[in-house]
Amino acid sequence: MSGNDVRSAADALRAALGDCQPRVAITMGSGLGGLGARIEEPVEIPYTELPGWPLPTVVGHAGKVVAGSLGGVPVLGLSGRVHMYEGAEPARTVFYVRVLGELEVPILFLSNAAGALHPTFAPGDLMLISDHINLMFRSPLRGPVHEGEDRFPDLCDLYDPELRGVVRETALQLGVRLQEGVYAAVHGPGYETPAEIRMLERFGADAVGMSTVPEVIAARGRGIRCVAVSCLTNYAAGVTSEPLDHEEVLEVAVQVQDDFERLVAGSIARFE
Ligand code: HPA
């Protein structure tokens, strides 16, 4: 993937957006794409119309950009992302983040489905990500340095403390139950073994999932401020005797969809 590919996709997206300059991009995780329906005066751009844009292959990921306004804020909703477990190179999973950088979108609000590890967290909880542990063992910044990005970026406060404060306050005001913790990113696509989950607990992880981390690292490279919320869809492997399956993940995500959407819409209206 070259800078030229990113610029071509950015040009195509800019042309479709007309004079709308998005202030917040929202990445909708598995089963959380319903937020797109809350976007007012929507302009939908299928990923297939954006040159070089990676196409998702997983159920629960639609594959389109929805531009419009949410609570009066100009937004770009990204319905569907590609993951490394689909075979995508890390740089491909963050293609869209680099496009957002080209479009000078200042804030990225990410979401995902994740398994719960923390002893008091349960399926159906939302968790604000405070930090992460990258167990994908790959960086999206591997390879030649892209224009404007650092070779060795600092990765402290990747999840913007100020934006997190706003999300916390919004949750309190809306009466949405919100946990906060560390997200461990694994490669997947198999779920973890119980032994791996015990290891992750000792590492200090509160939730586990297969996305988000490459995108947040790439966003730091572009100076995009990030905030991220996990929808805890299941107890992590071995916490209960129930086997894990993707259908369950999607079902639980749909149950918390309303709280999630109110939280995102309420928060971004307060971002400065
Ligand atoms: N593990 C990894 N990824 C996930 C999980 C999980 O338990 N639930 C949803 N995504």
| Listed range (11-20, 95-104, 221-230) with the worst mean pLDDT | 11-20
| Listed range (36-40, 160-164, 251-255) with the worst mean pLDDT | 251-255
Q: How far is the CA of 70 from the centre of ligand 1 (A)?
A: 28
For the cut 90, the answer to whether the pLDDT of residue 135 exceeds it is: yes
Q: Which residue has the higher pLDDT, 253 or 159?
A: 159
pLDDT tens figures, 171-185: 999 999 999 999 999
Q: Is the CB of 84 under 6 A from ligand 1?
A: no
Which one from 112, 211, 230, 267 is the annotated catalytic residue?
211
Q: How far is the CA of 114 from the centre of ligand 1 (A)?
A: 4
Span 20-31, average pLDDT: 90
Pocket test for ligand 1, best of 249, 255, 256 (most atoms within 8 A of CB): 249
pLDDT of 61? 61
pLDDT band at 48; cut points 50, 70, 90: very high
- Is residue 85 part of the annotated active site? The answer reads yes
Instruction: Please state the pTM of the whole predicted model.
Output: 0.95
pLDDT tens figures, 245-269: 888 878 877 778 999 999 999 999 9
- Is residue 4 part of the annotated active site? The answer reads no
Q: How far is the CA of 112 from the centre of ligand 1 (A)?
A: 9
- Is residue 211 part of the annotated active site? The answer reads yes
Q: Which of 168-175's residues contact partners 24+ apart within 8 Å by CB, and which partners?
A: 168/128, 169/270, 170/263, 170/266, 170/267, 170/270, 171/126, 171/128, 171/263, 173/266, 174/259, 174/262, 174/263, 174/266
pLDDT band at 148; cut points 50, 70, 90: confident
- Is residue 113 part of the annotated active site? The answer reads yes
Span 177-195, average pLDDT: 96
Q: Which range, 54-58, 108-112, 245-249, is most confident?
A: 108-112
Q: Which helix (H) or strand (E) is 102 found in, with range?
A: helix 95-102
- Is residue 134 part of the annotated active site? The answer reads no
Span 137-161, average pLDDT: 93
CB count, 10 Å around CB of 36? Answer: 23
pLDDT tens figures, 11-22: 999 999 988 899
